[in-house]
Amino acid sequence: MPELRFPDGFLWGAATAAHQVEGNNVHSDWWAWERVPGTPVHEPSGRACEHYQRYPEDVALLAELGLNTYRYSIEWARIEPEEGVIDQEAVDHYLAMTDRVREAGLTPFVTLNHFTLPAWLGRRGGWLDAAAPRSFARYCTRVVEALGDRVDWYATINEPGVVAFGGYLGALGFPPGGRTVGEWERASQALIAAHLAARDAVRTARPEARVGQTLSLTEWEADAGATPLLEYLRRMTEDVFIEASADDDWVGIQTYTRQRVALPDALAPVLRRVIAVSALRRVIVPVAVRRGMRHFGHAPSRDGVRRTLLGYEFRPEAVAATLRRTAALLPGKPLVVTEHGVATTDDRDRVEFVRRGLTAVHDCLTDGLPILGYLHWSALDNYEWAHGYAPTFGLIEVDRKTQQRTVRPSARMLGEIARTGALTVE
Ligand code: FCB
């Protein structure tokens, strides 16, 4: 049977994020947000997967599968539950966990911020607080110094574009619940400043580390009528962050779907004008985006498109489009697929998603793109933010009542590909 070979040293792994798996993240802004009446949060995170206690078992499972990398995040709200106060027990926890990851033969791939903030910073407006980038960099210094030579891979901030769009324009029901273009723009700028400050902090504390950020990127398709809107949204949610990665050691690519936008042709000149004129933009964009987001991924399946549990188009190959676009914007920059996955109740969908996604990644490698790894989202079924626990993304199933882990066939398949460095194709 023919096989697609991947480079030696390729990072093969799975990803999680602290708030989504650890449980009882009580000092975080998300924990508080989950309790605010009227937010669109489906259910609170609660005990999550108890990964804070059960990580030894989870790490062992990932290693037994044959993976060589584990991407996980460190929770700022645990490390610094009150401003300026470092919780040494939390630091020790992540040191022990990282040791366990390494002893299991996995490369630790550490995200320093994955959506959540300490509640004290959330109360001050989150990323809009003028001191937020500085505070973040200070926390990064503490963590990176403590982890020392245990970690070579750091992601500063996960999906800054989603954080800004979701929490400050009010598009995704994220904290702190901002709702204006002005807040969105300021949060985006703050997230870029925070990434750059954190990158410097990591490099100072550990010059050998490879540091980057992980970006949510979508394959977009717009007809002529929707093109001005597409260009504006893509610039604001993706391109500004790709450009901010120009001097990073690598860029993380996280792609779940293709988004098609269709609008009557006659709207294009009107949209162009609205977007160009700041006063109009500020009034119309929030309304249009929030309306549009209600349909994002939730278009009815009677349109004949195969969809995932989140309503996204089932489109594993979208990752190739975003890899190629990033490579065109930052030629030669090393790329890592830091998330790619599917919410489904049928693991056969996941098997297909991984196989088709990896085939598309392999095409990009064949064309010379410097892709260093593939980290699947997610290791475990977990807390999918405002959607709660229903959308299951795990290679490993987690029983919500008993917390029992069950390895799915897709996990075994990815482990086999990781072990052999090859994907067999029919
Ligand atoms: C990404 C997030 C991750 C998870 C997946 C499904 O946007 O980084 O935490 O929610 O989507």
Q: Who's near 343: CB < 8 A, 6+ residues apart?
A: 308, 309, 310, 312, 384, 391, 392, 393
Nearest CA to ligand 1 atom 4: 384
Indicate yes or no: pTM above 0.95: yes
pLDDT at 153 over 70: yes
pLDDT at 40 over 80: yes
Q: What is the pLDDT of residue 173?
A: 86
Ligand 1 pocket mutation, candidates 237, 353, 377, criterion most atoms within 8 A of CB: 377
Is 50 among the residues known to form the active site? Answer: no
**Cβ of residue 17 lying under 6 Å from some atom of ligand 1:** yes
What's the gap in Å between 27 CA and the centre of ligand 1? Answer: 21
Catalytic entry in 22, 75, 80, 159: 159
Which has the closest alpha carbon to 166: 30, 319, 308, 74?
Answer: 30
Separation of alpha carbons 411 and 403, rounded Å: 18
What's the gap in Å between 138 CA and the centre of ligand 1? Answer: 25
Under DSSP, the state recorded for 239 is I
Nearest CA to ligand 1 atom 7: 216
Give residue limits of the domains in the chain. Answer: 3-424
Q: What is the pLDDT of residue 261?
A: 83
Q: What is the pLDDT of residue 354?
A: 98
Ligand 1 pocket mutation, candidates 216, 308, 380, 385, criterion most atoms within 8 A of CB: 385
CATH superfamily of 3-424: Glycosidases (3.20.20.80)
Under DSSP, the state recorded for 316 is T
DSSP 362-388: HHHHHTT--EEEEEEE-SB----GGGT
Average pLDDT over residues 286-296: 72
User: Per mean pLDDT, which range of 15-19, 160-164, 259-263 is the poorest?
Assistant: 259-263
Which has the closest alpha carbon to 110: 155, 60, 77, 146?
Answer: 155
Q: What is the pLDDT of residues 154-184, one digit of tens each?
A: 999 999 999 999 999 988 889 999 999 999 9
pLDDT at 302 over 80: no
